[in-house]
Structure 1
Amino acid sequence: MITIPLRILLVEDVKTDAELIIWHINKIVEFPHVKVVDDLEDFELALQSFVPDVVISDYNLPTSSGIEIFESARSTDDSIPFIFLTGTIEDEVLASNTFLAGASGFILKKHMDNLDAKLGPLLKQIVFNMVGRTEIREKVRQNKIAVNQIYNYLDNLNVDTEEQRENIIQIRKNIENIKSDAGKVKGRNKGASQGD
């Protein structure tokens, strides 16, 4: 059993499936914090405020596709592990394409009876990759939430002059530059550790 707290963002539109998935997660993770959303808009809001350790998403949703959810996650944070869970796709080519796109896993809902056996190894690998970075991970999560709050504040700020508008644009550019620089450092550190 995974004993560290794990924040899981579950994208599932069928309530009974969501409940069953959470039941299986509770068999794998001692302290899961699961947030369930059922569309792209709520998913994007949850990415900003919840900042998950892993995303588990149905592939076919009424208002969007799993690929749209996946692309949204990647555009927000390309390091978030992402697992597809679906009942309608049994195409091995499509499954392999999701791995090529960067997904961490792909599970068919026909395996729901023993989902914990299929999902457990994927979550354990994610946790293994997180171990030793718990403190850093929490600081990064808090920083992401703070940046998102700043963006929301800027979006809701009433500006009266052109100078104020330009200052807000400059603040946004500075934040993006900081995020870009942090991503470059992360990429260099990742490359250096892989070369060891």
Structure 2
Amino acid sequence: MGDTKLKLLILEDVLPDMELTVWHLTEAGYQLDVTHVDNELAYSGALRKDTFDIIISDFNLPGFDAFGALEICQKTCPEVPFICVSGTIGEETAVELIKKGAIDYVLKDRPARLPFTVKRALDEAKEKAAHRKSEEELRDSEIQLKAVFEHSNDGILLIDNEGVIVKTNRQTELITGLDKDKLIGSYFWDIQYQLLLADYRQSVSIDMIKEMTYKRLLSLSDDEFIKQESPILNANNEIKYVEDYVCPIHIHNKRYYLVSQRDITERKEAEESQHIAFIKYKTLFESFPLGVTISDRKGNITESNLVAEQLLGISDEELLKRRIGDDEWKLIRTDGSLMPNEDYASVRALTENRKIENVEMGIVKPSSEVVWINVTAAPIPLDDYGVIITYNDITQKKKAEELLKQSEQHLLAKNLQYESVVGT
């Protein structure tokens, strides 16, 4: 039986009998820590002061017996196994003692049985302790599950294998606008049909909803789930967007379906607002009368509009392969000299982290045509964004300025010629 340590309480008024009990258990391999008492008062006091692995009690003691000892044990430490050892106990009395909670009894003329009885008692106590722990853990889990179920921000429904709603929480009532009494006992597909938008309800029947839903539920394996989003019109005449998550679960060997419903109305409205804002932005971006180019923080061009493509003489596909400071750009100053990369308005705005305005430069297109532009570049204060660059075509202005300059020079030459003639 091994070298099992055993904290033992012996209730025995005959010292040799107590010593015999200790000897048999020691011979069986138990390492004993023995507390010996011989009356009710000492017995009760020992149970109050200490804890024990097992109690072995004589049946008859002066003014006290095993029934009284067992009763005190069950009130004080019901988890501790109780064994009666006696030379006078009858079979009927022994059976009655066991019915009241004793593990077993051993006759004093058969002491060899004691170690085996003790082992069985300890094994049973260990098994009962494990069972109690499992029950406590299960009870705690059920309490926690109930708390999660009732206080979840998601609506939760429990559906049996026939499709009937058997349990739901408060959040489901808020989402659907239906009271718990109307939900529980209803078929899941009846509720689905009731919550359909009017346009959808006209195009399908409740039987179609039932067939689709029930087939999908039955087809789910234990490790599968259904996830879907859909708009509903709840009982309060509010349109809501709901994300459903459905999976099978087993409770007491019966199959159920757990449905989690999340109200995603705010998210869908935000997505719609973002979509509208994006459409507005793209429309403005593409119809803007100036050329516009956007880069990331590394200077890679990420966006450009049609006007930019036309001014730069490069397709959108080619533009997105370039960086704002690439050597492939051929830009010239107003005096006709080549502009170095570090002087580009876009490069300066990115490196100096400030707005660079009204820089005039010429772009030599692949066709060798020169287009004159006025450039403004500014940092974009968003993560992963670099600069926004706008181009205004000033080619006609530059041509007009050149014609004006030529006219002025021609007029000056005429005046000089006139003055020389008059002077002669």
**Paired position in structure 2 for 1:127:** 122
Which structure 2 residues correspond to residues 97-108 of structure 1 after superposition, within 5 A? Answer: 97-108=96-107
The structure-2 alpha-carbon separation of the partners of 1:131 and 1:66, relative to structure 1 and needing over 3 Å to count, comes to closer
The structure-2 alpha-carbon separation of the partners of 1:132 and 1:76, relative to structure 1 and needing over 3 Å to count, comes to closer
Say if 2:75 is the partner of 1:75. Answer: yes
**Paired position in structure 1 for 2:38:** 38
- 1:31 is displaced (CA, Å) by 1.0
Aligned residues: 140
The structure-2 alpha-carbon separation of the partners of 1:11 and 1:106, relative to structure 1 and needing over 3 Å to count, comes to same
Which structure 2 residues correspond to residues 1-196 of structure 1 after superposition, within 5 A? Answer: 1-89=1-89, 91-111=90-110, 115=111, 117-129=112-124, 188-189=135-136
- 1:3 is displaced (CA, Å) by 1.9
Check conservation: 1:6, 1:29, Cα contact below 8 A.
no
- 1:25 is displaced (CA, Å) by 1.4
Select the structure with the greater relative contact order (CA < 8 A; seq sep ≥ 6).
Answer: 1
Check conservation: 1:53, 1:80, Cα contact below 8 A.
yes
- 1:10 is displaced (CA, Å) by 0.3
Instruction: Report the identity percentage.
Output: 29
SS of equivalent to 2:64:
coil
The runs of at least 4 consecutive aligned structure 1 residues that moved more than 6 Å come to none
Check conservation: 1:56, 1:85, Cα contact below 8 A.
yes
* 2:116 maps to amino acid: P
- 1:63 is displaced (CA, Å) by 2.5
TM-score, normalised by the number of residues in structure 1? 0.62
- Name the structure with the higher strand share: 2
Equivalents in 1 of 2:30, 2:134: separation in Å?
32
- 1:46 is displaced (CA, Å) by 0.8
- 1:127 is displaced (CA, Å) by 3.3
Check conservation: 2:54, 2:122, Cα contact below 8 A.
no
Check conservation: 2:81, 2:122, Cα contact below 8 A.
no
The structure-2 alpha-carbon separation of the partners of 1:132 and 1:92, relative to structure 1 and needing over 3 Å to count, comes to closer
Structure number with greater Rg is 2
- 1:50 is displaced (CA, Å) by 2.7
Structure 2 segments unaligned to the other structure (5+ residues) = 140-251, 254-424
- 1:187 is displaced (CA, Å) by 8.9
SS of equivalent to 1:128:
helix
- 1:97 is displaced (CA, Å) by 0.9
* 1:97 maps to amino acid: E
The structure-2 alpha-carbon separation of the partners of 1:102 and 1:132, relative to structure 1 and needing over 3 Å to count, comes to closer
The structure-2 alpha-carbon separation of the partners of 1:131 and 1:2, relative to structure 1 and needing over 3 Å to count, comes to farther
